[in-house]
Amino acid sequence: MGFFDELSDSIVNTTKDLGKMAQNAGDMTKLQYDKKVKEAELTKLYEKLGKKYYDEHKDEDDEEIKEITAVILRIKEISDDIMQLKGGKACPKCGALVKDGSKFCSSCGEKIDDIFEE
């Protein structure tokens, strides 16, 4: 085999090796992406299960349940404070901002009765 034949074979083999490496890199990227998607899906399922568990056990005398309930109540208080600063209150049905004096929620159409009377 001559010099040019060996050079040609070397170039072909190198090109094949580079092609395999590129394919492997592409496969690795796809697998890593698929893994991230599945991890995000798992996190959502855990959250859904946790919410379901909380809803079914929220009246129990459990320390974690009490902590979650306290955080939920604090979030509601903060939301109410935000609504008040914006010049309204939360719609009792959908939670959207209802301006003072409104008769209906502009978001869901709920009739507003006495949420502004204190």
Tell me the pLDDT tens digit for each residue of 24-77. 999 999 999 999 999 999 999 999 999 999 999 999 999 999 999 999 999 999
Does the pTM surpass 0.85? The reply is no
**Domain spans of the chain, in order of start:** 1-44, 58-118
Give the integer Cα–Cα distance in Å for 71 and 60. 16
Mean pLDDT of 14-24: 90
Quote the tokens at residue 31: 């697998």
What is the full DSSP assignment across 2-42? Answer: -HHHHHHHHHHHHHHHHHHHHHHHHHHHHHHHHHHHHHHHH
